[in-house]
């Protein structure tokens, strides 16, 4: 007998507690053995996900509750990984929208909710983190209703069920005054409010590819929902490609989900989520169907990228010293391999065999790719991110973003002023508790390039900044983004304490004494608007005379830590970012090469 099924996606703004809540659901369902050591955010299996505390890739799990199989999909919360959310919503019949009891709906809440409503889903709303200080659960519910109405939800969708919970403490309840010690009320809500999947097991097979995985043993593995029919291990099937071509092949292995594991199964019917091996050429959105009666499902449409940058072979004086994978062929193969699983990414070849134009959904989306590649041993260079312009109805347009800032009261004026200079328009301003204010802006995407570092300085590190893609609008004119000039090394060598101490009054450094540098490498930020070349490797001339005070300990100001994200925001139009497994260096584009490029 086939178990009843519920397919649910968990959607929310970044850091509102999706993955922690899934941990609580897995523990409640008895997925883990008694005494088994379970890490926090067990669904974040990727190293980068654990380090950054964010979900990057959507993941499936399945639990059994009251003789019902509940397939749960954990999705990313950051706007840059919206491509993952869009695909996953096509696999499920209901969704759980998580909202922070203190922050309420945020920019990405709007994005994921809009996608869910477009798919015709009726979300269950869960107000999370109700046990925190300053939590205001009922106000959060009111704000969610306002958001539903703003997004044009129908009457049925606006009558959404809602619960209150603490993912960290592991409980959920229907009313704030109820007593609860577990997640049973949420499981019961899934059974009541999420409809069973619609599909006919007797119809010809239709399975849509929504996620791609890879195994050294099985090759490409596709994950998707069976919309109609039944699939069996070893059967003949056909893949209907994006172009309409029909490729016949065999299902070499069929797997289902149980807890955090994939288990091999003999067959699965309409409504189930499965992983299938044997379709080496399958891509996102394509359909696996019956070879005797091939019927394709509508292709999945994913929002287009809004930001692009050039990836190129490293040609700095230190090229090839730290990375193992450095040639243009290796970089090209890796970028095109990424396209197999990263649907929101675009890669184009250019006139130069050493340069590739890579387009993504934002700085974080591209930054994750860069960080992943450098950890795999790749060495390359990237240019400053640029927004992608489009022509709509004969008019040139650019992407605009919704920006929400949560700032201390004393930083409100300076934030409004700086965003005004970047063509930002303030939409809303709400004074919160504990001396904090929430500001909402609509701002061109290019106005946000390099803004995060400036924002952290304006708020002294106490500000919270979130943004998500809004729409394309007419170009808003020139944006003046002020940035001081840079300090540039004019020779190759090793930086010395003596040279850096003498140059301290010229600006702040990005390096420490003992760092290897080369001619044209950016070593710091100048106090003035223009660039300044200096000798960072100069050493103190030693004599046989002992100078008074010569034995004093020299103290230098702390350097600015140039992380990958900070460097991507900081880099100028005439600069490149050199990426190796061990180092991140800023450098000026060689003037001779720039002149050759113009010719």
Class of residue 232 by CB neighbours under 10 A (exposed 0-12, middle 13-18, buried 19+): middle
315 is in an annotated binding site: no
Q: What is the CB neighbour count within 10 angstroms for residue 329?
A: 10
128 is in an annotated binding site: yes
Class of residue 395 by CB neighbours under 10 A (exposed 0-12, middle 13-18, buried 19+): exposed
129 is in an annotated binding site: yes
372 is in an annotated binding site: no
Q: Check residue 353 and report its DSSP letter.
A: T
Angstrom distance (rounded) from CA 325 to CA 253: 33
Q: What is the CB neighbour count within 10 angstroms for residue 467?
A: 22
130 is in an annotated binding site: yes
What kind and span of H or E run contains 10? strand 5-12
Dihedral angle at the C-alpha atoms of 522, 524, 526, 531, nearest 10 degrees? Answer: 0
Contact present, 141 and 125 (Cβ < 8 Å):
yes
Beta bridge partners of 550: none
Angstrom distance (rounded) from CA 91 to CA 104: 27
20 is in an annotated binding site: yes
15 is in an annotated binding site: yes
Angstrom distance (rounded) from CA 546 to CA 511: 30
Angstrom distance (rounded) from CA 527 to CA 44: 42
Angstrom distance (rounded) from CA 187 to CA 63: 10
Angstrom distance (rounded) from CA 301 to CA 344: 10
Angstrom distance (rounded) from CA 7 to CA 24: 18
Nearest to 4, CA basis, from 48, 62, 57: 62
Contact present, 328 and 313 (Cβ < 8 Å):
yes
46 is in an annotated binding site: no
Annotated binding-site residue numbers for GTP: 15-20, 128-131
Annotated binding-site residue numbers: 15-20, 128-131
């Amino acid at each position: 007998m086939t178990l009843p099924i519920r397919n649910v996606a968990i959607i929310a703004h970044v850091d509102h507690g999706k993955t922690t809540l899934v941990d609580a659901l897995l523990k409640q369902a008895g997925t883990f053995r008694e005494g088994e050591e379970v890490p926090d955010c067990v669904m974040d299996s990727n190293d980068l996900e654990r380090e950054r505390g964010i979900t990057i890739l959507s993941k499936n799990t399945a639990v059994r509750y009251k003789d019902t199989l509940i397939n749960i999909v954990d999705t990313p919360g950051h706007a840059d990984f919206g491509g993952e959310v869009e695909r996953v919503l096509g696999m499920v019949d209901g969704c759980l929208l998580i909202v922070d009891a203190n922050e309420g709906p945020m920019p990405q809440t709007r994005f994921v909710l809009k996608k869910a409503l477009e798919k015709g889903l009726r979300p269950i709303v869960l107000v999370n983190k109700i046990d925190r200080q300053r939590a205001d659960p009922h106000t959060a519910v009111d704000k969610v209703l306002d958001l539903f109405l703003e997004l044009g939800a129908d009457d049925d969708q606006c009558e959404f069920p809602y619960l209150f919970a603490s993912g960290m403490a592991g409980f959920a309840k229907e009313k704030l005054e109820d007593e609860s010690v577990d997640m049973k009320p949420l499981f019961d809500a899934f059974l009541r409010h999420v409809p069973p999947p619609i599909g006919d097991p007797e119809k010809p097979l239709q399975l849509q590819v929504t996620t791609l995985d890879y195994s050294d043993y099985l090759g490409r593995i596709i994950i998707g929902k069976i919309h109609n029919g039944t699939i069996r291990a070893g059967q003949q099937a056909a893949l209907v490609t994006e172009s309409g071509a029909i490729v016949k092949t065999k299902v070499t292995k069929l797997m289902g989900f149980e807890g955090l594991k994939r288990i091999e199964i003999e067959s699965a019917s309409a409504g189930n989520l499965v992983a299938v091996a044997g379709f080496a050429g399958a891509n996102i959105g394509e359909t696996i169907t019956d070879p005797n009666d091939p019927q394709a499902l509508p292709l999945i449409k994913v929002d287009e990228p809004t930001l692009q940058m050039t990836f190129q072979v490293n040609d700095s004086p230190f090229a090839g010293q730290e990375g193992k994978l450095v040639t243009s062929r290796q970089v090209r193969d890796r970028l095109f391999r990424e396209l197999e699983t990263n649907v929101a990414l675009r890669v184009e070849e250019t006139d130069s065999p050493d340069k590739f134009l890579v387009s993504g959904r934002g700085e974080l989306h591209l930054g994750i790719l860069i960080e992943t590649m450098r950890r795999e041993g790749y060495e390359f260079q990237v240019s400053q991110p640029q927004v992608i312009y489009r022509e709509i109805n004969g008019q040139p347009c650019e992407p605009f973003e919704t920006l929400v800032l949560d700032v201390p009261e004393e930083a409100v004026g300076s934030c409004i002023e700086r965003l005004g200079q970047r063509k930002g328009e303030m939409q809303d301003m709400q004074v919160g508790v504990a001396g904090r204010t929430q500001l909402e802006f609509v701002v061109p995407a290019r106005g946000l390039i390099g803004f995060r570092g400036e924002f952290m300085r304006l708020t002294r590190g106490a500000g919270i900044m979130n943004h998500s893609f809004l729409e394309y609008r007419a170009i808003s004119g020139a944006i003046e983004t002020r940035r001081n000039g840079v300090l540039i090394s004019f020779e190759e060598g090793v930086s010395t304490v003596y040279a850096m101490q003498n140059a301290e009054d010229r600006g702040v450094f990005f390096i420490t004494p003992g760092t290897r540098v080369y001619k044209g490498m950016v070593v710091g930020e100048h106090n003035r608007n223009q660039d300044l070349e200096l000798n960072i490797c100069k050493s103190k001339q030693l004599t046989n005379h002992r100078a008074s005070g010569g034995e004093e300990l020299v103290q230098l100001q702390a350097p600015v830590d140039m992380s990958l994200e900070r460097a991507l925001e900081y880099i100028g139009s005439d600069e490149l970012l050199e990426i190796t497994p061990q180092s991140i260096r800023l450098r000026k584009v060689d003037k001779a090469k720039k002149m050759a490029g113009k010719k």
